[in-house]
Structure 1
């Protein structure tokens, strides 16, 4: 079922459940289908790491971990790290960005003694020699040995090491330090599908693979590592994981958004995946015509072909309206997070309390704006999944 019929059935389920505020909805059947699609597309020698920031609900993450049989998570800030260290102490957490050394210090201070094992399950991402030095000092202060994953710049140019002296020195430092252990590499390449033309994309892909391969050579020469398979060699994200056809260079990819597919992920590479996340919000007001602020408005003079105005409960989300068909934002009127205006076609038939449904443009911040996620399955709202506290 697709299009208006699908959304009409979803809107009916929301009404039957008594939903009267803006809510984030995940279609569980579509989510499970996307998980199955993902596992069918992954190379056999490629592991999966679940990106928590893109799926910021412990129950959502847990469902995916069980279905793909992985204990690998990518977390992105101190609250997220602490939460999963507490509730999933056996999960292997790789930081998705380098954190200030003070955040590491707070993690060791506030992590409960019974979760000491979870400290060893964290891989701290390091992008510079300076940060490595800071991290090792924190580890020494706490009498700990930290696992360190080195960020590579494979062409995205958001920081990280490139093959050369700094990378070699970092590897040697970790090899010699009692407070640090080299755990692997991360090379992120979301720029590739954004480049114009197949030739540019192919050249960027070859460059990224070449940089990663050169870094692996440095690892063999300077880190005392003989078996690369024991390392975490992370690459890709939802937009690019299909560029990695084997685990010959990287041995794991990080995936999150593809499983719920916001509109920013409507790409050729992700065509096999279905949209599985939606925002639903009630209509508060609606009338024929567009009343321009400050100008006279007489409903009696509205032409038959005039558009229909729809004001929603809340708004200004990073989202695209998809139901009712034909509704869109109005640039002239502007946007509102209190009562957002949508304009529909002249024959649009809606009433207050009917539902407007939107597709998020992204999941990582949007999912946190609506309270617990509503779980939709088989024409009904069947569950609610709490979300993580909002955190940058």
Structure 2
């Protein structure tokens, strides 16, 4: 009753409570406010910008740093030297003749892994190329290659076989064309993407292979890209190796083949360093590690450096404004100062991550665009039209086809270019 007789006391209490809530809310807003991540190009990207400008490149371009590429080649060579393991270059991840030639001569190696018919035709033109398919191709494509390249050339290739049905299809085509078929058996070492899941399944298919006079089993391929993503990579790798040794034993028991005469392919960029420390395989495949896209920032590739970048000019630079909701621009940029400025670039929507200048980000409000993609940044990002923005590819493969010739950066200048292969999937 005393409070009812003193409404001023209620007002004071409400004001104190309301003020407390406002203060708490303000603290919460401030706590959720992002920091300013913007900045300027570092010395490396300043030098690359200068080189591109001097070369007159004013469109999106894929750049390979030759010095970093050579460093990555040397890193792979040094990693594998104690084990003596040969390296097979993964062509799909490095789809340019000049790029492949530089890596092959730097290792050296004449072993290549190919993943589609178009690249197989290109690589088969090399008379000394040791070719292994990295995935099973449809039987129709196998037949097409035999018909175009001839039985002798097709017989040099190791074709990947993952099921008894595919072996029957390939064997029928080989017999009809009197072509020798070298069959490399894909085994599942834990990735579960396909291949023979256990020793019994492999044994049954090896028994089948013996019934085809045109077929010679050339070895095994076991891909273990899952290993770095497991909760216990060491155990995952050990398990994959047990699977591989089981398969080798089946080969020996069924066909009396000496493992030293076979292609026992394993690894990939994420795991080749593990194989160098001990493996059932007798060769490793490596591709992306030579250019190290962002998806390959792994502990096992710590010796490798990013060697490929996308460079593209800024078309427009302005203050950020939200279409139709301009009044929200201020509150939004207060909460995220990295959304204060808008930069519309030449092209975009690549499978890549902006890396320089720092603090650039994609806009979830504007969405992605392959014409004039918008990036946002803080007022600390002083980009203006015709300045360059740099991205780091997340992967290589298909992305390398999107820019025409690859520009080569020697640390000072754009010193030349490499043609990519004809576009293929």
Range into which the TM-score falls when normalised by the shorter chain = over 0.9
Once the two structures are superposed, the pairs formed by residues 201-212 of structure 1 within 5 Å of their partners are 201-212=233-244
2:97 to 45, 48, 58: 58
2:369 to 319, 336, 347: 336
Shift of 1:326: 1.5
- Are 2:189 and 1:154 aligned? yes
2:415 to 365, 376, 382: 382
**Which whole-Å deviations, capped at 9, do the CAs of 1:285-305 have from their partners, x for residues lacking one?**
0012x11122348999x9996
Aligned to 1:371: 404
Task: Say which is worse superposed, 303-312 or 269-278, in terms of deviation.
Answer: 303-312
Aligned Cα root-mean-square deviation (Å): 2.1
- Aligned residues of 1:45 and 1:247 also touching (Cα < 8 A): no
- Aligned residues of 2:63 and 2:406 also touching (Cα < 8 A): yes
Task: Give distance in 2, aligned partners of 1:233 and 1:384.
Answer: 35
Task: Give distance in 1, aligned partners of 2:157 and 2:402.
Answer: 28
**Which whole-Å deviations, capped at 9, do the CAs of 1:246-288 have from their partners, x for residues lacking one?**
5651011100100100000011111111000000001000012
- Aligned residues of 2:72 and 2:290 also touching (Cα < 8 A): yes
Aligned to 2:28: none
Gaps of 5+ in 1: none
- Aligned residues of 1:105 and 1:138 also touching (Cα < 8 A): yes
Secondary structure, counterpart of 2:389 in structure 1: strand
Aligned to 1:173: 208
Task: Say which is worse superposed, 250-259 or 306-315, in terms of deviation.
Answer: 306-315
More helix by share: 2
1:67 to 94, 98, 106: 106
- Are 2:178 and 1:140 aligned? no
- Aligned residues of 2:164 and 2:208 also touching (Cα < 8 A): no
Aligned to 1:216: 248
- Aligned residues of 1:90 and 1:118 also touching (Cα < 8 A): no
- Aligned residues of 2:188 and 2:198 also touching (Cα < 8 A): no
- Aligned residues of 1:89 and 1:117 also touching (Cα < 8 A): no
| Count of paired positions | 381
Once the two structures are superposed, the pairs formed by residues 232-271 of structure 1 within 5 Å of their partners are 232-246=263-277, 249-271=280-302
Task: Give distance in 1, aligned partners of 2:392 and 2:138.
Answer: 34
Runs of 4+ in 1 over 3 A off after TM superposition: 245-248, 295-300, 302-306
Shift of 1:62: 1.1
Aligned to 1:78: 117
Task: Give distance in 1, aligned partners of 2:256 and 2:211.
Answer: 10
1:109 to 147, 164, 183: 147
Task: Say which is worse superposed, 70-79 or 119-128, in terms of deviation.
Answer: 119-128
Aligned to 2:36: none
Task: Give distance in 2, aligned partners of 1:121 and 1:303.
Answer: 61
CA 1:233–1:329 in structure 2 vs 1: closer, same or farther (change >3 Å)?
A: same
- Aligned residues of 1:283 and 1:351 also touching (Cα < 8 A): yes
- Are 2:307 and 1:276 aligned? yes
Secondary structure, counterpart of 1:181 in structure 2: strand
Secondary structure, counterpart of 2:42 in structure 1: helix
Secondary structure, counterpart of 2:373 in structure 1: strand
Aligned to 1:36: 74
**Which whole-Å deviations, capped at 9, do the CAs of 1:159-209 have from their partners, x for residues lacking one?**
10133333112223334422111100001111111112xxx2222112111
Secondary structure, counterpart of 1:168 in structure 2: helix
Secondary structure, counterpart of 2:299 in structure 1: coil
Shift of 1:243: 1.5
1:229 to 257, 260, 280: 260
Gaps of 5+ in 2: 1-40
**Which whole-Å deviations, capped at 9, do the CAs of 1:213-240 have from their partners, x for residues lacking one?**
0111101100231x21111000110011
TM-score scaled to structure 2, two decimals?
Answer: 0.86
**Which whole-Å deviations, capped at 9, do the CAs of 1:39-79 have from their partners, x for residues lacking one?**
10014331100000000101111111111111100000010
Task: Give distance in 1, aligned partners of 2:328 and 2:248.
Answer: 71
Aligned to 2:62: 24
CA 1:209–1:303 in structure 2 vs 1: closer, same or farther (change >3 Å)?
A: closer
Secondary structure, counterpart of 2:300 in structure 1: coil
Secondary structure, counterpart of 2:103 in structure 1: helix
Secondary structure, counterpart of 1:352 in structure 2: coil
Task: Say which is worse superposed, 341-350 or 161-170, in terms of deviation.
Answer: 161-170
Aligned to 1:391: 424
Task: Give distance in 1, aligned partners of 2:329 and 2:225.
Answer: 50
Aligned to 2:12: none
Greater Rg by CA = 2
TM-score scaled to structure 1, two decimals?
Answer: 0.93
